[in-house]
Amino acid sequence: MLKHFLPDQHVKSIFEITPESLKEKGVKGIITDLDNTLVEWDRPSATPKLIEWFDNMRKNNISVTIVSNNNEKRVKLFADPLNIPFIYKARKPMGRAFEKALAQMGLEKEETVVIGDQLLTDVLGGNRSGFYTILVVPVASTDGFFTRFNRKVERIILSWFRKKGLLTWED
């Protein structure tokens, strides 16, 4: 059961994920979470560095779709100025939004990665749906109300993974 929470890869930041490293894996598409994965949960728009990251993916023909459990207003406000497709109220870890994003990009699961900062939504949902998953360290040390509970459960799972030598990074 815990294997469903284990990401295929973990990085400290979205910026460690490069088009070159993705292409080596045959990846042509990214399904990414928004809050605390790309920007802080309370930051309304992308940073210049993140805009550059998106542009770099686009130049390398890697599609990006944002899949967020947040509401339409929040996700649209962030994604529209960047011209990035999105799915809101995704109900992760349920698989329907992942499948919808895949269909929108016209890609196969083997060509797509799921990136997120939460084990209980992003990694679990991506793994259960058969995607390669990448866990990133949350960009903010604070969370929205509903995420706080998930973080407590995550700490227990992450601690177990660390003890088994399956995941390593500093908090």
- Is residue 169 domain-resident? no
Confidence (pLDDT) at 171: 46
Give residue for tokens 């790309």. Answer: 38
Q: Which domain holds residue 89?
A: 2-163
- Is residue 129 domain-resident? yes
- Is residue 170 domain-resident? no
- Is residue 168 domain-resident? no
Does residue 31 surpass a pLDDT of 90? yes
- Is residue 67 domain-resident? yes
Query: Which CATH number is 63's domain given?
Result: 3.40.50.1000
Confidence (pLDDT) at 24: 97
Give residue for tokens 């949960």. Answer: 41
pLDDT tens digit sequence for 45-74: 999 999 999 999 999 999 999 999 999 999
User: Nearest to residue 4, comparing CAs of 129, 142, 107?
Assistant: 129
- Is residue 143 domain-resident? yes
CA 111 to chain centre: 15
Question: Model pTM?
Answer: 0.88
- Is residue 8 domain-resident? yes
- Based on the structure, what is the number of domains in the chain? 1
DSSP 43: -
- Is residue 171 domain-resident? no
| DSSP track, 83-142 | T--EE-S--TTSSHHHHHHHHHHT--GGGEEEEES-IIIIIHHHHHTT-EEEEE--SSS-
pLDDT tens digit sequence for 87-101: 999 999 999 999 999
Between CA 34 and CA 125, with CA 1 as vertex, the angle to 5 degrees is: 20
